[in-house]
């Protein structure tokens, strides 16, 4: 039976811990980070085309609709690797903010790889798709699997871990974009506090919510909070309003807070909406 259309969710991720260890010979940084998925997702709809072309549309502004788009790159990579002569029309319903540190573009690429695997009948395993994803971007491999994982190398080596205890997550993004490359270029590895990534993995395995809150850490905050005072302001306000723990995700600018109690989440949500337009209250997916 020929499948003509596939619809797939592309969830956002947050970093519970992000450490950069050294600058690699290939120009990337060697990282160790704990990532987990949250219930904020784009939806990717893939429609089979008999013509040999990739067409892409998106409901969100600021999304490139050509080879700069990671979903486009994912389709092109599969076409070239497996000599596919059929095409695809990709429609992205955007819900994850763009250039936000939430891996929206990487998750769209991962969903496209998984969807096209079905649509074009490639029968590739998740491991094979993740290996292909690493050629597109550092976060794509993680997004192929989803769930919760320790990522090492430049982010493409994925070690699955159990999911954190369930909780609420509040995401707040100021109206700016942040260049990941620029943040890493300005990162000074000497004299900054490195998060306890191993401790975080252990806390998650033990389902110890308080310990997880105490171990949140992101080495990139040392750069982004200085470059973008708006991010620092949101972090400070979220703490002041009563989040259990607060951290910037990825290279920013999105800041997230963790909450065990929905009533407190609602209070902080209302407080942030007074000065920040993009605020999302979501659950931790983690699995």
Its sign, for the CA torsion 191, 195, 196, 198, is negative
pLDDT at residue 286 in the model? 66
| Arithmetic mean of pLDDT, 184-209 | 93
- pLDDT tens track for 103-118: 999 999 999 999 999 9
Task: Taking residues 140-167, report their average pLDDT.
Answer: 95
Active-site pick, 13, 114, 173, 232: 13
Who's near 167: CB < 8 A, 6+ residues apart?
209, 244, 258, 259, 260, 283, 284
| Edge-to-edge order in the sheet of strand 278-283 | 245-248, 255-259, 168-173, 278-283
Report the distance separating Cα 158 and Cα 170, nearest Å.
26
Residue 1 has pLDDT above 70, yes or no: no
Say if CB 250 and CB 220 are below 8 A apart.
yes
74-100 per-position pLDDT tens digit: 999 999 999 999 999 999 999 999 889
Q: Which long-range contacts (CB under 8 A, 24 or more apart) does 122-126 make?
A: 122/78, 122/82
pTM of the model: 0.94
Cis? peptide before 111, omega within 30° of 0: no
Q: Minimum mean pLDDT among 135-144, 261-270, 278-287: which range?
A: 278-287
Does the annotation mark 226 as catalytic? no
| Residue 63 predicted with pLDDT over 90 | no
CA angle 246, 251, 253 (to 5 degrees): 65
Tell me the pLDDT of the chain averaged across its residues.
Answer: 94
Nearest-angstrom CA–CA distance, 232 and 227: 9
Catalytic residue among 42, 108, 139, 244: 139
Taking only the tens place, the pLDDT of each residue in 220-269 is 999 999 999 999 999 999 999 999 999 999 999 999 999 999 999 999 99
Q: Identify whether 139 is a catalytic site residue.
A: yes
């Amino acid at each position: 039976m020929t499948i003509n259309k596939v619809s797939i969710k592309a969830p956002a991720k947050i970093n519970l811990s992000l450490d950069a260890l050294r600058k690699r010979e290939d120009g990337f940084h060697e990282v160790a980070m704990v990532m987990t998925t949250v219930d904020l997702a784009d939806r990717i709809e893939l429609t089979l085309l008999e013509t040999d072309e990739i067409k892409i549309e998106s409901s969100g502004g600021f999304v490139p609709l050509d080879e700069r788009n990671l979903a486009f790159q994912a389709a092109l990579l599969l076409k070239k690797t497996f000599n596919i002569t059929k095409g695809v029309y990709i429609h992205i319903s955007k819900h994850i903010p763009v250039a936000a540190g939430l891996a929206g573009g990487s998750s769209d690429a991962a969903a496209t790889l998984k969807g096209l695997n079905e649509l074009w009948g490639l029968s590739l395993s998740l491991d094979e798709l993740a290996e292909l994803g690493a050629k597109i971007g550092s976060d794509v491999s993680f997004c192929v699997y989803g769930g919760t994982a320790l990522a090492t190398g430049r982010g493409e080596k994925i070690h699955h871990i159990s999911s954190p205890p369930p909780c609420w997550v509040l995401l707040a993004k100021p109206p700016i974009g942040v260049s990941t490359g620029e943040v890493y270029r300005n990162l000074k590895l000497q004299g900054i506090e490195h998060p306890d990534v191993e401790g975080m993995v252990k806390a998650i395995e033990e389902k110890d919510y308080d310990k997880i809150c105490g171990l949140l850490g992101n080495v990139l905050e040392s750069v982004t909070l200085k470059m973008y005072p708006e991010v620092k302001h949101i972090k400070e306000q979220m703490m002041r309003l009563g989040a259990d723990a607060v951290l910037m995700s990825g290279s920013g600018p999105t800041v997230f807070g963790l909450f065990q109690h929905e009533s407190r989440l609602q209070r902080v949500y209302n407080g942030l909406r007074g000065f920040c337009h993009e605020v999302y209250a979501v659950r931790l997916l983690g699995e």
